[in-house]
Structure 1
């Protein structure tokens, strides 16, 4: 397990109160950063915000390498800095660095050090880590949660706003940032809100309170900010804290009887499981990001007394979360009986057990495993996963984490049985999680790659869609992709591919994917498959299509030369000028930083088949399902809607001119079958083949344990009547995956136009289309 992912808190060696008293001014903080951009890094800097009149003499900045946690380069003195424009009583001092002077992350950090040599602020980008040298020794960095990449525009930076750190935008070096009007809370919103260890609240008198009174019936404690004294049994210990639970509780199912006591990784707990302890500390609500729920904690804690040791632990509560709704009221009321988000809050920190546990995805690289109670879960698919549906977002799915087991998770796959899993309930990175306190054993559920029953025939055209996840020439996965295409997809006539990269992957100066396609074609032949050819276009500009920097992902087609001819391949006219209005009222390009839809016209049995290959805007930036924002944001749906509406307009125009045309829209739409984007794509012209499957079997990928359909094939009426369709599960749910998507496969009867049977199928499809349009007009 990558434990850096768990290091969330900051310890600061000088208290804010003392620093404020000594200087009579608000403390400085890191306000803006630039470290990476397109091409050679240029104009790197770190900006400090400081209240007017504050003297930075003797203060310094140190850069930290997340690989090992030590410093790199020389500390930079902040003495004698010149300040930029004043705003709301603050000035801005920028420290310039040479090209490549600030490392490009994954992760790296910056420490702001006071004139006494003590650590004042320690932030990081692209992950968190522990400092191992200098002023940040033993301190966990605070990940700011945003990053720059090698495709970040020159002249852009990461900036602190009123709501936290923001994605790259035009630099405001030496002045207030975009969306920034507040400054006195700069440390808090900048990722420095929790000061860790201490004396239990700065000497304030402690309020006696039972744990369940501290927790209360809600997502936040009514005692937040107060210094309390409480007691309980230690039920679990981690490297940076421990959980205590009242042994009897208050009998109220809406209030948790347990709480997390945070000590910090540099001050590991000295208590043991089974100790009855009396502690004192400050009630804190901790959240890593603004869109996440808070975890109620006792910070600045001290153990007043270990009353006794070796006590029996409170009985574990069997988890019985609601199975349909995560939230029904925008967090307006607290309803553990109906809302999953409220249910898990009601047992936060408590000992719980997941009975009949079954894995619904494979163990991930962080040692996390998603599971359900197989006896009570709803929406289960036939391979042992749990599928997202329009009215069911699977609140009963829970993340099992190995933090309390020192990274000892089993390597499980979808459908594996896990028995009963006991631990304590926590929340991290947007997920409620069960921190297992007892070893978890997986029993093989028999998951196996599927072989589709759909095969080509003289009168049947087979078409696949496959997102091959950043495939470039020389990729070690290519041989296996070739085997999948031949042995599991039965060598489709046409394959619509997404996420094909340049020949040199993420290297610079290349826009061609000719070798990437050639390698895949050769791999298919090596696997015993037929000869394929390419029908594709390269992007029109570097880093214009999103994805990994310099990878220039694009859509493309492979087609069997023994069965299919290509007539034309092109981008849809006008994609580069089409616009939409974002929620802020700003007009933007529909396909900016996204993939232009690629149109291929093919000939099969003397008939034209037009295929539009799509890869819509990603869902990046979406809130987690268990977010503080309810209902959740789904990552710029208005942009996906605009893209899909544009494609529909193209198809509608084609079908208006040729009502019987064979038209297919396929690809990674990054939208669920029930979302508006798919309705806009279908319009009155297309039928989604997902409707041929039961709702729980509609999935092509898994994200955080939830099976979901992001990839789709939609067809015109002339093809729908004869369609066969399959989600071919080769990657989702497996420990070993070639891609984070499964391929889709469909076939259609396309006999020569002179055959009466073909004419009948076309007529049936047109009748179906007519009936749909009539029903929509009458609705």
Structure 2
């Protein structure tokens, strides 16, 4: 136990000018399991109202708080306040003043704020590391503020060394929790306020606005109150309901203060009430996981029925989360339509996110800048089915219930939703009290829609870790992708449906298993199934004697329609730095259009991803907070190396028309993309679709990681470019996975169609071809120089599929003559 001499404590406070100090974090526990707690000490000389204070937790180097834990009540000078994890052990819980979402580890930064002002901090926001120094660590230790530290660290972005201000103790040591500088050991418990008289319906009562207060938590926690108000929503029935109802003050009793809520949740299961009832009740005020409620009901009467309240008008975006707090528990009507922006948890938890508009990754639409992030919570909110059930078989959104044939796509408009704002699981959620009105502003399409057809289409498609086990029905689970043959069959069917509906002639694939080109390989079996389901013949580009392309588990691939194009070059790849590790080796092949014999070189790419740099990356590859993530310098190097490689005509065909496609793991305005543009390539999506285009959605933010870039001559031939949004806009529950799905859900959520065949959308480019000659026939093509440089020695030639004048089939030439006369797509 800490037993400090009081004179020492007082002198320390005086020496540091603590009369003007604020609250500090005095103890931090990162114990085993969920034994986590944070202690706060009022180092000032006056009582502090805690309702405006909140502890923010920034996880894994994030620049946006993942959890926010409001403080509550008041804290006298030299007072101690403890928040514990809700699943901490009984000893910690007995000391704690409240529980909250203390989901942190030793690499997560903590910031204590009073409103928007930083009061104290631990760790370094935006940096992912376990902070430790001088034997003191934020991981697996209890650490206590040194006696000489009486003011907080108000710069959460500076380098952090916990040993400078804290002393370290063993894991799970709670012997001093609730005490600091000799205070907190014998503070007398305040005498409880006498419970108010219950009275009769119509008598005076405590206003809900007074219970809610203007801060993040109630100023009346643990107080006994009597309130009388109108029931706006009842959640007593159904599977794992909320077990209570919401009350809102009559219009005439509202206080007119926009910062105080007029609604509140009542946790009570034993009295039947209905919306429109006027109810008088007595109970105690509590903060349950940071949501204000009245519980422990001691008396309740239904005074009347048929009453109503006017929904509050609400709009997004908001400037701060206090605007949501001001309507917590209230019936609201959103004053404008909202757009569906995230359905990741729709199938699992029955909720989805909306905002005032589709939200884009900042670096998709603007150049990278410091502190580049979008706080999605300020831009929208969750719409929830008000149940705690997981993986329900009857998700009510959209109208008619969620199914593979009844999707809720991102971009769908919902007209002015009305409901109750509830706070749970760290989010503000609207619980609809009226049927949602959906406007299908982003319908599915059966095939990519392009402004013009062209006569040659080239596409890019990330197939999301397509692995086929051992290729003989065994070998599952695999390193990635399907965990069983059943999942493999479901994934294969959806991918084939997407490929055969894409109406493309050449498709570059990403994230296919890197297991060679034999009969049991993933690429061979994918193409075989495509041929089984298609009216035309497809082939894949092989790389001769190469068993693998690079050393990654996944690779790039090329497939094509043999009635449209033929290979004319030598299929190659390069493993030059940085394609030796992290960035998958780009592959290239030259094709000619059979009808016109016009040639194009197609290069498929998959640059290094944005995550996982930790401390192992060089400075330029660290996540510097500008929105480009990790390994940005490596991706820029990849872009520059790629252009140099392609300029050397690696397929052996000196062709001006070049298209670079694939997953570049960079959004539209990021440095690697700009490097390609500066190098003379046209961003074909930007040119036709503008900056607000997308092939991928992450945490509700849209953007394009998949791109198509054209050389100058090819760009002149492009007539249309499209992102076919069959995946990113669909609920992820529609994918091939069977985990956490009942038999009913596996049937209800799955269809062998293109929708959610992957997590990335295909990009399709349509172009015209020009009459030419590859050199296989008389004449000559000005685009082609047969004296192109030979492939570098570290590139593997395509021995099986190279087309030469000596091997060009007669039937292919006859087919070309026919297609030259009749140019139709099938």
Does 2:419 match 1:423? yes
1:212 aligns with 2:209: yes
Residue 653 of structure 1 corresponds to 644
CA RMSD of aligned residues (A): 5.8
Task: Give the whole-Å Cα distance in 1 for the aligned partners of 2:764 and 2:320.
Answer: 36
* 2:457 aligned residue: 462
Q: Do structure 1's residue 563 and structure 2's residue 575 form an aligned pair?
A: no
With over 3 angstroms needed to count, the CA separation of the structure-2 counterparts of 1:224 and 1:475, relative to structure 1, is farther
Alpha carbons of structure 1 residues 420 and 159: separation in structure 2 relative to 1, 3 Å: closer
Deviation at 1:739, TM superposition (A): 2.0
1:520 pairs with 2:503: no
Aligned residues: 547
Please report how far the alpha carbon of residue 708 of structure 1 lies from its aligned counterpart in structure 2 after TM superposition: 3.6
Q: Distance in 1 between matches of 2:322 and 2:35?
A: 41
Deviation string 1:550-601 (CA, Å, 9 cap, x unpaired) is xx44433324455234523324411267xxxxxxxxxxxxx6xx44242323
Cα distance in 2 between the residues matched to 1:310 and 1:144: 44
Among 483, 490, 496, the residue aligned to 2:497: 483
Separation of aligned partners in 2, 1:202 and 1:539:
73
Whether the 8 Å CA contact 1:601–1:610 is kept in 2: the answer is yes
Aligned to 2:764: 745
1:351-750 aligned within 5 A = 351-354=331-334, 360=340, 363-371=346-354, 377=356, 397-403=380-386, 409-410=396-397, 411=402, 412-414=407-409, 421-428=417-424, 431-438=427-434, 440=436, 447-452=443-448, 461-473=456-468, 474-487=488-501, 489-493=502-506, 495-501=507-513, 515-528=521-534, 529-535=536-542, 538=548, 552-561=553-562, 562-565=565-568, 567-575=570-578, 594-604=582-592, 605=597, 607=599, 609-618=601-610, 637-654=628-645, 661-695=656-690, 698-703=693-698, 707-723=702-718, 724-734=720-730, 736=734, 737-749=756-768
CA distance in 1, matches of 2:784, 2:258: 60
Give yes or no for contact 1:571–1:596 (8 Å, CA) kept in 2. Answer: no
Quote the residue 1:258 is aligned against.
263
Query: How big is the shift at 1:170?
Result: 10
SS of the residue 2:713 aligns to: helix
8 A Cα contact 2:590 2:601, kept in partner: yes
Distance change >3 Å, CA 750–CA 210, structure 1 → 2: same
Q: Give the Cα–Cα distance (whole angstroms) in 2 for the partners of residues 491 and 389 of structure 1.
A: 28
Between the aligned partners of 1:650 and 1:354, the Cα distance in structure 2 is 51
Runs of 5+ unmatched residues, structure 2: 1-25, 38-84, 111-121, 146-170, 179-188, 197-205, 236-240, 368-373, 469-487, 615-622, 735-755, 786-826
Report SS of the residue matched to 1:403: coil
- Name the CA distance, whole Å, in 2 between partners of 1:187 and 1:434: 39
Task: Verify the 8 A CA contact 1:397 1:705 in the aligned structure 2.
Answer: no
Local SS of the residue matching 1:365? helix
Alpha-carbon separation, structure 1, partners of 2:173 and 2:364: 36
User: Residue 566 and residue 226 in structure 1: after superposition, are their counterparts in 2 closer, same or farther (change >3 A)?
Assistant: farther
TM-superposed CA distance for 1:744, in Å, is 0.9
Is the Cα–Cα contact under 8 Å of residues 641 and 680 in structure 1 kept in the other structure? no
Larger radius of gyration: 2
* 1:239 aligned to which of 237, 242, 255: 242
Asked if 2 retains the 8 angstrom alpha-carbon contact of 1:359 and 1:371, the reply is yes
- Inter-partner Cα distance in structure 2 for 1:269 and 1:693: 61
Q: Contact 1:221/1:296 (CA < 8 Å) preserved in 2?
A: yes
* Residue in 1 that maps onto 2:152: none
- Contact 1:731–1:741 (8 Å) recurs in 2: yes
Relative to structure 2, which stretch is displaced further, 653-662 or 460-469? 653-662
Q: Does structure 2 conserve the Cα–Cα contact (< 8 Å) formed by 1:479 and 1:520?
A: no
Whether the 8 Å contact between 1:462 and 1:492 is mirrored in structure 2 is yes
Q: In structure 1, what is the Cα distance between the partners aligned to 2:530 and 2:758?
A: 17
Secondary structure of residue in 2 paired with 1:645: helix
Find the aligned partners of 1:430 and 1:513 in 2 and give their Cα distance: 51
* 2:280 maps to 1:303: no
Residues in 2 aligned to 1:527 and 1:481: alpha-carbon distance in whole angstroms: 11
The alignment partner of 2:521 has SS state of helix
**Matching residue of 2:283:** 279
Offset at residue 478 of structure 1 (A): 1.5
* Residue 347 of structure 2 is aligned to residue 347 of structure 1: no
Contact 2:663 2:705 in 1 (8 A): yes
Q: What is the SS of the residue equivalent to 2:765?
A: strand
Q: Is the 8 A contact 1:688 1:713 kept in 2?
A: yes
User: Alpha-carbon deviation of 1:501?
Assistant: 3.9
Q: Could you say which residue in structure 1 is the equivalent of 2:750?
A: none
The CA deviation at 1:424 is 1.3
**In the aligned structure 1, how far is the partner of 2:459 from the partner of 2:336?**
37
Are residues 703 and 207 of structure 1, via their aligned partners in 2, closer, same or farther at CA, if it must alter by over 3 Å?
farther
User: Displacement of 1:402 after TM fit?
Assistant: 0.2
Q: Distance in 2 between matches of 1:566 and 1:214?
A: 76
Mapped to 1, the partners of 2:304 and 2:324 lie a distance apart of 28
Counterpart of 2:794 in structure 1 is none
* Aligned equivalents of 2:577, 2:416: Cα separation in 1: 57
- Structure 1 unaligned spans of 5+: 1-25, 34-45, 50-108, 122-139, 147-156, 194-200, 287-294, 323-335, 382-386, 504-509, 546-551, 578-590, 623-631, 763-779
Q: Deviations over 1:34-78 (max 9, x none)?
A: xxxxxxxxxxxx9999xxxxxxxxxxxxxxxxxxxxxxxxxxxxx
- Residue 521 of structure 1 deviates from its aligned partner by 0.3
